[in-house]
């Protein structure tokens, strides 16, 4: 029997190791996290024209996302309403409608059931087609990044992102918008979905050690971190966590640090040219962060690295496996040759066969599968780094630690994780809007009670 209160100890910065392995817990995650949160679907740039579509996942539910005649986007569960076969088998394309390969039921791009073979002869008037359209999913967009949510009572995407928008706008919107380079690369990784989500939300601690060989091979300004010979200096970055578990780390002026010499030099010139525009639009502080390296997760399973320019979804396939979807990110107004350079650098580092991706994958898989051992599974995970240093900073939304290396965003991620699992509905979640910060700010250095 699950006791959710024992899974996460925010005050002492620990989590139960069973969160990476337990089957019963996984089913609850699908219902209370993936069934309630906003989940990334696609980007405007990937379905620009009428009838353009892509397929994807929300938790383990397959979904179909389609550009409509009025320019809006709709999303549906990707199964036929007759006997439940998959409706659309393609990953992407353009269509005027969708026909099930099993019995030929046909649907419009708006999800309505349009035609049924031998409807009059076989159903003799008893089929109520107007009630058998595809199940539609709530869809909203932020700067062209399209998310879906199963829960009608959830807040808007804008409010769900909350304080995180202040940081996202720096790269999503300040110079005219961002776009994704697709189609996404897809790969399977034998780990729990939370292991990469927590890594991207704020783990700068592993970079110099896990990626030592890759940093040394690639060179560039971040190669000095290889082998943990040095730490980023004091004042070199931030750790941030926000209301619904979204978080990030920022390493100042290190955006193009590992994408290669040619791409790095071109990006630095681009950032220098555009920083005054960012300052005019968003202010001097955010202009300072433009050109920095961001590692981030939008809770629960959508992560990105800005600077390394990779955008990911960790789609769960049971508690012990995920499917990884990887896109490149570029600014819309970048010259085409710079977009190609940036994308090439991303593929070398965090693409499916990227050097850094391979480094991380080994750790994430061991973090998951060692928990098949009953004694290991009884243990706890430690995320106490930087406890007691978090503050509310009037210049920065969310809760901040003025350190480039720490685990503030880890603790915020798992605080939200426990909250979602414990709450019966969004009304219970909203009841904590005024008090959520107290849990993080009340944590004591060293994990003292």
The catalytic residue positions are 103, 203, 206, 211, 360
CB 119 within 8 A of CB 128: no
CB 409 within 8 A of CB 400: no
Cα separation, 316 vs 25, whole angstroms = 13
Cα separation, 296 vs 237, whole angstroms = 13
CB 52 within 8 A of CB 73: no
Cα separation, 60 vs 287, whole angstroms = 39
Selection from 386, 380, 442 nearest residue 409 by Cα: 386
Phi/psi of residue 84, nearest 5 degrees: 85, 15
Cα separation, 301 vs 194, whole angstroms = 7
Cα separation, 345 vs 354, whole angstroms = 9
CB 307 within 8 A of CB 254: yes
Q: How far is CA 6 from CA 3, 36, 77, 119, 245, in A?
A: 6, 22, 34, 55, 18
279, two tokens = 């300052």
Question: What is residue 399's three-state secondary structure?
Answer: strand
């Amino acid at each position: 029997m699950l006791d959710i209160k024992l899974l996460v100890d925010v005050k002492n910065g620990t989590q139960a190791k069973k969160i990476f392995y337990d089957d019963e817990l996984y089913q609850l995650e699908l219902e209370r996290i993936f069934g309630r949160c906003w989940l990334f679907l696609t980007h405007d740039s990937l379905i620009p024209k009428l009838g353009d579509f892509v397929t994807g996942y929300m938790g383990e539910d397959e979904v179909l996302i389609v550009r409509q005649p009025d320019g809006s986007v709709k999303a549906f569960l990707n199964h036929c309403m007759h006997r439940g076969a998959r409706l659309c088998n393609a990953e992407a394309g353009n269509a005027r409608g969708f026909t099930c390969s099993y019995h030929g039921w046909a649907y419009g791009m708006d999800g309505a059931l349009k035609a049924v073979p031998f409807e009059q002869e076989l159903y003799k008037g008893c089929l109520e087609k107007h009630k058998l359209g595809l199940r539609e999913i709530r869809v909203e967009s932020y700067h062209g990044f399209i998310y879906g949510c199963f829960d009608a009572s959830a807040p808007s995407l804008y409010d769900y992102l909350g304080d995180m928008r202040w940081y996202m706008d720096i790269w999503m919107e300040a110079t005219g918008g961002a776009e994704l380079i697709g189609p996404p690369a897809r790969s399977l990784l034998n780990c729990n979905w939370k292991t990469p989500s927590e890594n991207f939300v704020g783990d700068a601690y592993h970079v110099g050690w896990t990626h030592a060989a890759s940093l040394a091979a690639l060179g560039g300004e971040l190669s000095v971190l290889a082998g943990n010979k040095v730490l980023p200096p004091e004042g070199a970055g931030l750790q941030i966590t926000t209301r619904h578990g979204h978080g990030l780390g920022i390493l100042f002026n290190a955006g193009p640090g590992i994408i290669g010499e040619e791409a790095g030099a071109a990006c630095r010139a681009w950032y220098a040219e555009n920083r005054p525009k960012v300052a005019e639009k968003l202010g001097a502080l955010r202009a300072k962060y433009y050109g920095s390296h961001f590692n981030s997760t939008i809770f629960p399973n959508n992560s990105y690295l800005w600077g390394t320019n990779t955008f990911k979804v960790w789609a769960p396939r049971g508690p012990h496996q995920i499917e990884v979807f990887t896109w490149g990110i570029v600014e819309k107004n970048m010259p085409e040759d710079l977009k190609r350079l940036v994308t090439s650098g991303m593929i070398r580092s965090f693409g499916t066969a990227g050097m850094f991706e391979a480094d991380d994958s080994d750790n994430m898989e061991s973090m998951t599968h060692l928990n098949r051992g009953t004694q290991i599974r009884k243990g706890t995970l430690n995320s106490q780094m930087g406890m007691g240093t978090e503050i509310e900073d009037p210049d920065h939304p969310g809760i901040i630690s003025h350190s480039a290396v720490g685990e503030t965003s880890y603790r915020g991620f798992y605080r939200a994780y426990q909250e979602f699992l414990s709450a019966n509905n969004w009304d219970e979640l909203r009841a904590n809007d005024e008090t959520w910060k107290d849990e993080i700010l009340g944590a004591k250095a060293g994990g003292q009670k």
